[in-house]
Amino acid sequence: MTPTKPGPDAGPTVALDPSPDAIRAMAAEVIDWVAGYHESIRERAVFPRTSAQALQERLGEPLPQDGRDFASLLDTFRDVVVANARHNAHPRSLGYVSSPGTAVAALADLLASVLNANLTAWRSGPGPAQLERVTIDWVRQAVGCPEGTDGVFVSGGSMANLAGLAAARARRCGPAVNAEGLSAQHRPLRVYVSEEGHHSVDKAAALLGIGHANVRRVAVDARFRMDVADLERRIAADRDAGAEPFCVVASAGTVVTGAVDPLADVAAVARREGLAMHVDACYGGFARLAPSARRLFDGIEDADSVALDPHKWLYLPVDCGCILYRDPGAARAAFALGADYTRVLETAPGEAFAFWDYSPELSRRFRALKVWMALAHVGARAYGEAIESNLDCAVHLGGLVEESEDLELLAPVGLSIVCFRYLPAGFRGRGARTAEEEAQLDSINERVLVALQRDGGSYLSNATVHGRFGLRACILNYRTMRDDMRRLLDDVRRAAVEGGA
């Protein structure tokens, strides 16, 4: 399969347009690797022992002028790239609220790339576009938003939060904000999110000209949920000071401790005060499929917009976020802009549908295919069971931590997130600690985390909880079992010894 040079009439090079047999041969090798990767995932180290310099030495080279054989590229992929990857599919890759991926969704991604539909509007691919609209409606049903809600898949949760806030801003300010920016707005707009809300809300506020300083951080209760009385106080104080409260962002699963804000109470305040309500359900939203968590999401049906990440708890490979709007007209007010090259000539509503009216993106890959294939192949019930099992593992881990004298829980278990720390001898079984002891524990746990990550048996990340350095486990993997929780703690204890704790 070495690429050959084109002759005068040979058309594109063989490398750009391989023969069907060459495609079959390459794909067979790729698919064989895919199957083997899934088979071997438990045996791999979660994190590689390497350095940027070592990798650069193996990968760095000048821009190739002549092509090379696909088999040699696959060798580099296997021997250098995969051998030095962090394996998010490993059952003890627990550092982040990120997904393991699934084989079916990965194959769907391959199919989407082959079809290469660019979903800008219905006309850019009637079949793919309709499939996205159907799948968006499945997502709506999964999270419990009312009929009539519409939306699109976007690159991820940060983009979804940006889109939700843009729609809220357009609703408040009207079309003038698109034409003149916020200069037409005399009073500063204020947005409210809990102290635990994700930083993509601040980023969105900055990009929308609202500004970080106008993101009000609302206090949280002992379970890290938004304190609704504090929300009301802040709205009143801002009004008195001449500012214009316009949107509250509730978190349905905070990134550090997994807290779900009291959505129905937040919705009631938003309604009473005339604020838009956006829910950041990027991490937690799909936990509504698990029967034991369902009630936590009561009130989400009142949200004006909901941001979700199928590339988190639907276990799908990146990238895939999703934004839902209860009033799709508000999104159009934010994003619809006429240009000759985007003029829609179709008139029937379904066929005149343009995805570019619902987010900042124009060219969009066919993300819906993997969501549709995964939901249709697995089914909502089995998804609910897998998520339920993740929730169970988190409770189990929390219990193991609580019954161990060398470990301490730093926050109540929230959805599938557990924050804890290691206590070396001399720090166990005691009451209040001095500030100096707390600082010692912070630095000991930092060393434990570094040693754990280097060890490769399990992977956690860091979390600051009440100002203290903690180890954070996020369980979003259908492969993770109760026994992995025991093995994780064994790995933490070994890392404590290696880290000199």
Q: Which listed range, 29-37, 156-164, 445-453, 489-497, lies at the site for ligand PLP (CB under 6 A)?
A: 156-164
Q: Output 171 or 312, the one with its CB closest to ligand PLP.
A: 312
DSSP letter, residue 489? H
- Nearest to 255, CA basis, from 480, 40, 78, 416: 416
| Residue of 136, 162, 191, 282 interacting with ligand PLP (CB under 6 A) | 282
Identify which of residues 276 and 281 has a Cβ nearer to ligand PLP in the complex: 281
CB of 92 to ligand PLP, least distance (A): 19
Mask for 109-148, x = binds ligand PLP (CB under 6 A): ----------------------------------------
Contact between 95 and 476 under an 8 Å Cβ cutoff? The reply is no
97 binds ligand PLP (CB under 6 A): yes
Give the strand pairing for 276-280 and 244-251: parallel
Please report whether residue 101 would count as binding ligand PLP according to CB under 6 A.
Answer: no
| Binding window for ligand PLP (CB under 6 A); candidates: 74-82, 108-116, 277-285, 327-335 | 277-285
* Beta partners for residue 252, in sequence order: 260
Closer CB to ligand PLP, 128 or 197, in the complex: 197
Give residues with Cβ within 8 angstroms of 233, minimum separation 6. none
Token readout for 411 is: 């926050």
Question: Which is closer to ligand PLP, CB of 202 or CB of 302?
Answer: 202
Nearer to ligand PLP by C-beta: 195 or 244? 195
Distance in Å, CB of 297 to ligand PLP, minimum:
14
Which is closer to ligand PLP, CB of 185 or CB of 254?
254
Q: For 447, how many CA atoms within 13 A lie in the half-sphere containing its CB?
A: 15
Nearest approach, Cβ of residue 231 and ligand PLP (Å): 18
Residue 252 C-beta: closest distance to ligand PLP, Å: 8
By beta-carbon proximity to ligand PLP, the closer residue of 266 and 354 is: 266
Residue 242: which region, alpha, beta or left (left: phi > 0; alpha: psi -120 to 50)? left
| 157 lies in the binding site for ligand PLP (CB under 6 A) | yes
Q: Applying CB under 6 A, which of residues 135, 149, 185, 200 lies at the interface with ligand PLP?
A: 200
Our CA dihedral for 108, 109, 115, 116, rounded to 10 degrees, sits at: 160
d(CA 87, CA 98): 11
Q: Does 285 bind ligand PLP (CB under 6 A)?
A: no
321 counts as binding ligand PLP under rule CB under 6 A: yes
Listed ranges 1-9, 83-91, 150-158, 339-347: which one lies at the site for ligand PLP (CB under 6 A): 150-158
Helix 368-378 × helix 380-402 angle, to 10°? 80
With CB atoms as reference, the residue minimizing the distance to ligand PLP is: 157
User: By CB under 6 A, is residue 305 in contact with ligand PLP?
Assistant: no
Does 370 contact ligand PLP by CB under 6 A?
no
∠ at Cα 291 (289, 297), nearest 5°? 65
**DSSP assignment string, 110-147:** HHHHHHT---SBGGG-HHHHHHHHHHHHHHHHHHTPPT
The phi and psi torsions of 191 (rounded to 5 degrees) equal -120, 145
CA-CA distances (angstroms) from residue 429 to 409, 426, 432, 444? 13, 9, 10, 17
Which residues of this chain interact with ligand PLP, rule CB under 6 A? 97, 156-158, 161, 198, 200, 253, 255, 280, 282-283, 309, 321
